Amino acid sequence: MRIASLHTYPVKGCHRIDHDVARVEPWGLVGDRRWAMVDADGVAFTQRDNPLLTQLRVTPRPGGLLLSAPGLPDLSIDEPVDGAKEFVRVFRSHLPTPARIAESEWTSAFLGRPARLVWQADAGSRAIGGVDEVGEPVSFADGWPLLLANEASLDALNGWLPEEIPMTRFRPNLVVEGAAPWAEDEWSLNEARLQIGDVVLRAGPGCPRCVVTTIDQESGEKGKEPLRTLGKFRRVGQGLLFAINVAPLALGSRAVGSRAVGSRAVGSLAVGDEIRLIG
């Protein structure tokens, strides 16, 4: 079993970035969902309410981002490391988390409504799930630091669908190949440990899927699948499950990124890396 692909989404809801190598921090892959666009109440916009986010392309650069979108000039924005903190929420039901406002004019023009771009001021200040004050840290992701999907499970799902869909619909961080279809269900049930080089990940609960999976990640167009089919074959309790949440347990060194093994930073993952179940 190996890593087939790695992905981050620097601004919550934006178009993915594909990686050959990605470093892991306690709250997720480096740069993943540290930014979000929020409304006047400080609640994050997602593709659930604004599929236009699929058209937001992001290019990371040292200390900031380059934002691109159709019909707008590119915007280079720095991480707002100074200045007052405000409190924002990923969902209205979540606890507030500190952030700094980076920009509003370009963001509002892009979404067509008042909006602000914010940066997570204190990495690790938000707990998994967003509703408890303590727990393992997470970025502006919906709930957990990383989402892991299985290529064989997508193949099985596509066998049930009237038309095949790509893995991009599920917006994973980590895609595995060489596992049996739905093997991740057992990993989740047993809270298995997955070792990838010097990184150890803990398997968490299965991911209940929402309307975002019906949105074409290239065009932003919405349909009905795969939720209709997941409802027939993958309903568990109140959720329609595909992929599992995972959290880092070990990153190989407390000083993550302070040294390297060859060209690889400690605590990093790479496409092609072997994955071993160790518990």
Model-level pTM greater than 0.85?
Answer: yes
**Is the pLDDT assigned to residue 254 strictly greater than 50?**
no
Dihedral of CA 180/213/13/59: which sign? positive
Say if residues 210 and 41 touch (Cβ distance below 8 Å). no
| Number of neighbours of residue 263 by Cβ within 10 angstroms | 8
Return d(Cα 15, Cα 26) in angstroms, integer: 23
CATH classification of 2-277, choosing from 3.40.50.1390, 2.40.33.20, 3.40.50.11540, 1.10.10.10? 2.40.33.20
Return d(Cα 66, Cα 58) in angstroms, integer: 6
- Domain boundaries of the chain, sorted by first residue: 2-277
pLDDT digits 0-9 by tens, 23-74: 999 999 999 999 999 999 999 999 999 999 999 999 999 999 999 999 999 9
pLDDT digits 0-9 by tens, 171-210: 999 999 999 999 999 999 999 999 999 999 999 999 999 9
